[in-house]
Structure 1
Amino acid sequence: MNDTNFFEARDGIRLAWRERGEGRPLLLLHGLFSNAEVNWIKFGTADRIAAEGYRVIMPDLRVHGASDAPHDAAHYPPDVLVDDLRDLIAHLGLDRFDLGGFSLGARTSVRAVVGGVAPERLILGGMGLAGLSGWQRRGDFFRRAIAEYDSAKRGDDTWMAIQFMKTMKVDRVAAGHLLNSFTDTPPEALAAITMPTLVVCGEDDQDNGSAPELAATLADARLTTIPGTHMSSVTEPALGEAIASFLAA
């Protein structure tokens, strides 16, 4: 069954989203080089949350999944993914809603809140404090993965990221432009995050720094540790359980 929906962003680019369930809206943003299907649907996370009475709305971010991946750099201004999120919220006419994401989705959620988007609750998965304030280091790694796409060998530090890019059929030109649109969030800017926030991270996931440090920085955060690494934690039923438990509290 094809349950993919489409809307047009402010720059005319066609973007996709998928949904599960009915009830209170929850927007969930996937990680870099992933998509809504892999991050939220495939391993049951979306259905677990929907079972609690939520309308789970999951966009494919620009350059990912069924969404467009334009090659013109003009389509990638700073924080373009926040613009896209605002456009989806407006397209769906959402007023009261919750927001969350994993990895890049968590970064984008934070950038959105700092920029004035006002979810009632926030979920930050696979994210630590350094992943918000020190993007350039991670950005350089992914730029190198794109550059080494055809030359990396098993055992190289970029090997696994490249294999994931190949599996997901990532458009490298568009991905390079998108990486350049990401911006840092200094710790002092996190003062804007005053709503109840779930910080959920794999016990072996340090890819984006320390999740406990991030939780300690936020005004009203709950930290939950689940099994897994950065790559494997999204496959764990514990991810959906943690989010469902947070939303029910």
Structure 2
Amino acid sequence: MNLNAPAFSSFSHDGLDLAYFDEGNPSGDPVLLIHGFASSATVNWVHPGWLKTLGDAGYRVIAMDNRGHGASDKPRDAEAYRPWVMAEDSIALLDHLRIPEAHLFGYSMGARISVFAALAHPDRVRSLVLGGLGIGMTDGVGDWDPIADALLAPALDDVTHQRGRMFRAFADQTKSDRQALAACIRGSRDLVARADMARILAPTLIGVGTTDDIAGSAQELADLMPHARALDIPGRDHMLAVGDRVFKKAVLEFLAELSTSQQVL
């Protein structure tokens, strides 16, 4: 397995070609990784070591470039990026791979997509790992319009909004389609009702960095759910929490517990 550049394939859904990789142990429990805004499967999951971490632990590791990102098609209509629409891309990938049920692990926007997938298709979701998004899932994460403006600005030097500069610099670094990302940030911010969070019965781990100023409280979100626990990722902000060793250890333990409980049953 080439950890630096896993082999990508593609499939079609909703009129779009979507890129994905399918690595790790083919007979292991499948983990579907759903990346965050302005990222990609490679940037979010390969470079921070998740593909290696989960693959070495015996899991089948699957990740897709979300629409508008990476090597996938990039519509420029905000309505194409509603989180329930993007959730259907993830379920369609499971269908394409003939996987009836998987662990879903989403970071930031990917966490929101994972929740919408779990609400629409509870029978397909064995468990949830939600990273980089806590009570902001239900209460919002502030005004993101300046980020769309930053993405469409002529140059980074024209951007004064701090968070806008952060995402614009990230988009430039990853050579992203900034018009598609601006449409995505405008279309993908739908909140989840607190009552809907309470309907999610899948075991859930929610990990948020202690210096993350975007996500909101992991514990507050976990308190809304019947089978959720919160994890504080010490000293990590929104960008750095994703690859943290504390997070990796907790996720491996969480998934191992589920495998053990399945064996007991």
Q: TM-score, normalised by structure 2?
A: 0.85
Q: Does the aligned pair in 1 maintain the 2:206–2:228 contact within 8 Å?
A: yes
CA drift at 1:102:
0.5
Match for residue 169 of structure 1 among 166, 170, 175: 175
Q: Could you tell me which runs of 5 or more consecutive residues in structure 2 were left unpaired when the two chains were aligned.
A: 258-265
Q: Does the aligned pair in 1 maintain the 2:199–2:225 contact within 8 Å?
A: no
CA drift at 1:214:
0.8
The residue identity in structure 2 corresponding to 1:123 is V
Q: Could you tell me which runs of 5 or more consecutive residues in structure 1 were left unpaired when the two chains were aligned.
A: none
The residue identity in structure 2 corresponding to 1:208 is A
Q: Aligned partners of 2:202 and 2:82: how far apart in 1?
A: 28
* Aligned length in residues: 247
Is 1:34 the counterpart of 2:34 in the alignment?
A: no
Aligned residues: CA RMSD: 2.1
% identical equivalent positions: 34
CA drift at 1:94:
0.9
CA deviation map 1:89-111 (0-9, x unaligned): 11111112111100001010011
Q: Secondary structure at the match of 1:49?
A: helix
Q: Secondary structure at the match of 1:121?
A: strand
Match for residue 179 of structure 1 among 181, 185, 193: 185
Match of residue 252 from structure 2: 244
Match of residue 263 from structure 2: none
Match of residue 133 from structure 2: 127
CA drift at 1:153:
4.7
Q: Secondary structure at the match of 2:90?
A: helix
The 5-angstrom pairing of residues 161-240 of structure 1 reads 161-182=167-188, 183-227=190-234, 228-240=236-248
The 5-angstrom pairing of residues 81-120 of structure 1 reads 81-118=86-123, 119-120=125-126
Q: Say if 1:39 and 1:149 are closer, same or farther in 2 by CA, change over 3 A.
A: farther
Q: Aligned partners of 1:29 and 1:50: how far apart in 2?
A: 16
Q: Aligned partners of 2:54 and 2:146: how far apart in 1?
A: 33
CA drift at 1:116:
2.6
Q: Aligned partners of 1:157 and 1:33: how far apart in 2?
A: 13
Match of residue 16 from structure 1: 19
Q: Runs of at least 4 residues of structure 1 off by over 6 A?
A: none
Q: Aligned partners of 2:143 and 2:66: how far apart in 1?
A: 19
Q: TM-score, normalised by structure 1?
A: 0.90
